[in-house]
Structures are given as structure tokens and as C-alpha cells.
């Protein structure tokens, strides 16, 4: 039996679909799944990002993008986590914007981003996992 997994880029870019023969079954609607974490954000605010990552059993971030501060570009106040397996923008892609409790130096964050080509690797998991979440926003 051959099992295919692909992204449907029409409608919801993150709806993973598995097809076996002629049957198609929706596995995960990323937007609705991540919106549940936004709806329960009081549970995650003030805690380490690793706590939120641990609760995300069905999907994990694939890439991370730093957002410099609006008044000071030498600091990072927010990070954008993307869940598709590509390293370029996808139309209608679901994203998670995390605002951090403490500002991070842009040089350190940028070094990690460049080293891992923006992919959310184990080193990013450790680095961001220790950061405290101030806000969670899910959007498309």
C-alpha cells in the first residue's frame, strides 16, 4: 500500500491530506488546531515557550522568523512561527506570532536564524523554549 501526504494549496494551505487509493481523509486543519491555543492563551502566557510546544502534539513549527522591535531594530520582541514545510511564503498560510516577555538581542536571534536557514531546529527549540510568552496570535 502506498500512502501519500501532501499540502492542499487551495483554500487552506495547511490542511494536510492523506490519500490511500481513491480515499482522502483530512488529517489536520492547522488554522483551527492552532486557534485552540490562542483561545486558551491564558494557560500559556507567563510560561516558557517550551510548555506551549509540549502541548502542541499534532504539529510543530517548521520555520521561525524574527520580528525586530518597531522602535529599536536591535532587539526582537516577537517571533513568527510557520508550520508548512517550505521556506517561502505560501498563500493563506497559517502563522503563529509570539510576543516575548523580554526583548532579545537581534544579533543573537539573527545568528541562529542564519545558521539554521530559518528552520526551527533543535537549537532554536532550546533557545526559544526558555523564553517567556507574553502573547499568542494566530492568523492567516
The string of pLDDT tens digits covering residues 36-63 is: 999 999 999 999 999 999 999 999 999 9
3-state DSSP helix/strand/coil % of the chain, to nearest 5 = 25, 35, 35
Alpha-carbon span 35 to 91, nearest angstrom: 18
User: C-alpha 13: how far from its chain's center?
Assistant: 14
**Which of 17-21, 43-47, 81-85, 133-137 shows the lowest per-residue confidence on average (mean pLDDT)?**
17-21
Alpha-carbon dihedral 10, 12, 16, 22, rounded to 10 degrees: -40
User: Can you give the pTM of this predicted structure?
Assistant: 0.77
pLDDT single digits (tens) 110-120: 887 788 888 89
3-state secondary structure of 117: coil
Amino acid at each position: 500500500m502506498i500512502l501519500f501526504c501532501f499540502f492542499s494549496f487551495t483554500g487552506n494551505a495547511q490542511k494536510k491530506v492523506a490519500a490511500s487509493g481513491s480515499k482522502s481523509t483530512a488529517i489536520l486543519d492547522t488554522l483551527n488546531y492552532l486557534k485552540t491555543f490562542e483561545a486558551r492563551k491564558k494557560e500559556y502566557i507567563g510560561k516558557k515557550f517550551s510548555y506551549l510546544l509540549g502541548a502542541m502534539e499534532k504539529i510543530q513549527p517548521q520555520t521561525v522568523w524574527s520580528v525586530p522591535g518597531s522602535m529599536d531594530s536591535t532587539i526582537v520582541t516577537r517571533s513568527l512561527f510557520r508550520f508548512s514545510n517550505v521556506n517561502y511564503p505560501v498563500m493563506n498560510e497559517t502563522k503563529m506570532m509570539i510576543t516575548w516577555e523580554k526583548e532579545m538581542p537581534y544579533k543573537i536571534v539573527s545568528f541562529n536564524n542564519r545558521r539554521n536557514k530559518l528552520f526551527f531546529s533543535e537549537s532554536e527549540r532550546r533557545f526559544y523554549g526558555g523564553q517567556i510568552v507574553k502573547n499568542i496570535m494566530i492568523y492567516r
